[in-house]
Chains A and B, each alone.
Chain A
């Protein structure tokens, strides 16, 4: 099971955190501090796994952003690495050549996408296409909702004239 997902920039700034196991706010801060100390200092050729408090943290760097997932000891590290890549690919499809800036300003969207990919610490959907489609469906609903509100306000405005 995945215990949490972290996105940290190379400067140690937090870009996204998602906790599937209960951690108090204090613990969270501590976890982030510990892990960024551990991961950001690792050289480029070392393995993408770190042992940490009896758990494993799988991380992967994309441009200046580190994607980290914490898993149990008996999970398959390579699989998690692939899940991370999976997430990045979905983000890429969604944003169109995703870059760190997209995630900084649209972190809530990154959360929505993550929610379609992982649930309760498990991979819920192995198909990228399905994830993209679901997120798009939600977005289009949001768009139509927006259009509706604007048209309603137009009507009201016209009626008020």
Chain B
């Protein structure tokens, strides 16, 4: 196998890779790559390039593209390469096109023909290469071109081909469900394939199909359960084992499927209990993959119809995860807890301190996961603590994506569970202040509505208190610099509406502040508009209250500025303000009634107030208005639209001839009318899920005729009429209030039941007071908590760095590079400054010297394994000494890699894992030496700065 690690490429390419490795800055790297692009552009278009050379150019293109540069000038050559006869060249061509082209690229149409030909090849490797390309490149339009062949390949004698054909069909289904909807039964058939690999691959598409339509697959429950049982009982070949776990990847997929099938279905779930219980028992929880299966079991248990025994096992596993030192397992534990508390909320209590530890962990990922859990378990009793923590965290991070998410969660929780108005306003203020520009504008609107309507109780007094506390806090906040626009809009609106309502602040106070806002944020027209309208309201209320209005000088200058504004909106508002100020008190009262933002405005749809006017016009001889429904030709339009719609749903273009126009009526339809009926529906994007429901009647699979032309029926339309979905955004506040009320009730009752369970528990011995308090506030106000050693977590953290540092050299190669570090300090990873010829390098190269120490002076003999011989006995001795009893355990732990903390905990310390590893593999020193020699032949020196490059990845 060692020979395959050789380097076939030309010197030129190696030089390129080397120089990029040496580049000290991004700029230098870019320069090198640009140079290379120039060279390639020139060379690649030369005539009569030998295939081998061309293949190398294409690989160089891949390299360039991998480094983030544009290699599109060479795409066409990669496409050409797929046409080649020899697999050697073809394979590189396919690799390059799958890496270069996205499914919507224009060049794909040029490859389809080759793919068709290759799918028919009698060499299964060619077919495999083509199928790989099919999965990546075939798009909606080209599916019909290859579908018949892919279908045939489902029965190919080679299992590798069947497997890839299944995956290709799955990909087709993902891209255009309707194009293969009639072929779905093939997946069921392949489930019974003799080869476990093919069966396993079939589970991917089945999972997706079942996720979309559970009910038509209920009959498969028994089959899935029996497959899972057989897998768990090790009926599959050993080749599918993974660290003593029988075919874990297949188990995981099956558990996922069962979770879907058993969800809310008692009968189906009952079939699964035994096998899931078995897996819980059999799983090896010391290996990573074993834990992966266990986690999937928990997901399954929390999804299917609950079974107390399984829930208990799940809870056991969760507590094992949470108590583990590994952050990965803690993370999975928190996630699993979040799933399980939906079914049995009481399980969270026993883990409260573990949860709080995770919340305070320096690891951001873990922290976020914990916030997710807290979000799921928020009740009216703990909302204050949770939201408070969330906001603190939100302020501390800079990742906008997550900030937005957590902000909207805060808002949601606050709206649902707010214990008091005061708290709600304060919370919203904090959210807006720190993430205002990231929250959805709807949130701002609902906040305004909430302040306007109050919390729903009939107590007007409380409402006005809420408003004045809002006004007060806003006036204070306005002093701070740089507030987000959305927040300013809310502030302006509230100040305008309620600023002077309770008489605490005078009109000039408020208007002064509003003018300041308009001035300070003069680039933001929306804020300015809000401020202007707020000013108008304040003045209108003053006039209506028969008070004397003095416009502040800054306000006057603001108005003058706005009257001449470029924005017509601002201008209009300014003119309106001017007009309102000029009116008398009574008129103003009618236009701007005080505190009337919640009053319904009645819209007179019949426009009855215009009756007199119309009457007058008709008397003067005007044509009477004909309602839309009675207009001639309207019937035709709707017919026309129906017809049109029908066709559009099959595809965008119609190929059959259009019917002859009905001459008389249609031409009379005014153009504008058509336009209006067309445009009015808001073009909502069609969601894939919806479009699946409109799937076509199944297409007959006439393989012959469909071979070459594109089959367009059933392909999801792109240019058709957009479907209209009525916007449902009008969240109605009364329903919200009822939700609020009931959930509060719920919360209270669960808390009381929780307290009872706490009291029966043993008193806590030694947990820091602060944490206890936090736990109490999060989990329902009891200081009696489960005992948990508080030290373990922190101590483990301290030892974390040990793992990385402790690389015990396992081969002579590494010893050499370490020594080299002290001997010589070349600046970079791939130091290639050394002369290429080995003979001259001999004197300087510390590697050689070391090899000399080990055995002979000649490289050749070193390569031949002499040093390996001298080293391996030592390794073996070490191994025998220390590893005797715990080999298995070690092996398992190795799997979780360098970052796994459990490595440090092991007896025999850090040398152990590597020793066992190397003894279980081929003799390592020999391999590394061979490689080393090879590399040096090429002129690459294992420089001391980065011995890592040579380090065995699995070591």
Contact = CB atoms under 8 A, between A and B. Distances in A.
Given A64-B946, A119-B167, A91 B953 contact: yes
Contact of A146 (B88, B174, B901): B88
B163 A78 contact: no
Interface string B279-294: 0000000001101100
B239 A49 contact: no
Given A62-B898, A100-B951, A115-B132, A17 B66 contact: yes
Interface string A33-72: 0000000000111111111111000001111110000000
Contacts of A119: 132, 135, 164, 167
Contacts of B928: 97, 99
Contacts of A64: 946, 948-949, 951
A120 B167 contact: yes
B666 to A, nearest CB: 43
Contacts of A85: 288, 895, 897
Given A16-B66, A88-B954, A130-B197, A49 B328 contact: yes
A64 B953 CA distance: 8
A146 B95 CA distance: 19
A112 B91 contact: yes
A115 B95 contact: yes
Interface in B174-203: 174, 196-197, 200-201
A106 to B, nearest CB: 7
Contacts of A48: 327-328, 899
A46 B67 CA distance: 28
Interface stretch (B148-156, B629-637, B707-715, B798-806): B798-806
Contacts of A51: 365, 368, 402
B781 interface: no
A119 B132 CA distance: 7
Decide if the interface of chain B is mainly helix, strand, loop or mixed: helix
Name, among B7, B237, B954, the residue most crowded by chain A CB atoms within 10 Å (CB to CB): B954
B328 A81 contact: yes
Interface string B346-372: 000000000000000011111010000
A120 B927 CA distance: 34
A73 to B, nearest CB: 10
B1 A96 contact: yes
B5 A76 contact: no
A120 B135 contact: yes
B689 interface: no
Nearest to B368: A51
B249 interface: yes
Contacts of A98: 5, 952-954
A107 B921 contact: no
A126 B922 CA distance: 23
A76 B297 CA distance: 11
Nearest to A86: B242
Nearest to A67: B953
Contacts of B1: 93-96
Contacts of B86: 145
B17 A104 contact: yes
A73 B401 CA distance: 15
Interface in B910-955: 921-922, 924, 927-928, 931, 935, 940, 946, 948-955
Contacts of A82: 242, 248-249, 288-289, 292, 895
Contact of A99 (B164, B365, B951): B951
**Size category of the binding interface on chain A:** 35 or more
Nearest to B335: A77
Contacts of B136: 20, 120
Given A62-B953, A115-B95, A124-B167, A79 B328 contact: no
A44 B898 contact: yes
B922 A100 contact: no
A29 B14 contact: no
Contacts, number: 258
Contacts of A139: 4
Interface string B828-850: 01000000000000000000000
Given A85-B895, A106-B7, A145-B86, A111 B327 contact: no
B250 A126 contact: yes
A127 B239 contact: yes
Interface string B568-586: 0000000000000000000
Interface string A7-47: 00011011011101011110011001000000000011111
Contact of A44 (B800, B927, B940, B949): B800
Contacts of B401: 52-54
B681 interface: no
Given A22-B104, A122-B204, A45 B292 contact: no
Nearest to B89: A145
A144 to B, nearest CB: 9
A158 interface: no
B102 interface: yes
B68 A32 contact: yes
Nearest to B807: A63
Contacts of A100: 948-951, 953
Contacts of B4: 94-96, 109, 139
B197 A127 contact: yes
A121 B568 CA distance: 52
Contact of A45 (B197, B800, B922): B800
Contacts of A18: 99
Given A63-B948, A137-B125, A107 B66 contact: yes
B295 interface: yes
A10 B948 contact: yes
Contacts of A65: 953
Interface in A108-132: 108-109, 111-112, 115, 119-120, 122-130
Interface in B728-782: none
A45 B899 contact: yes
17 contacts: A11-B829, A13-B20, A44-B801, A45-B899, A78-B289, A82-B289, A94-B4, A96-B1, A99-B951, A100-B949, A102-B5, A104-B21, A111-B99, A120-B135, A122-B167, A127-B239, A145-B87
Given A11-B829, A138-B91, 12 more contacts: A28-B68, A29-B68, A45-B797, A46-B365, A50-B365, A83-B249, A99-B931, A99-B950, A105-B7, A108-B62, A126-B197, A145-B86
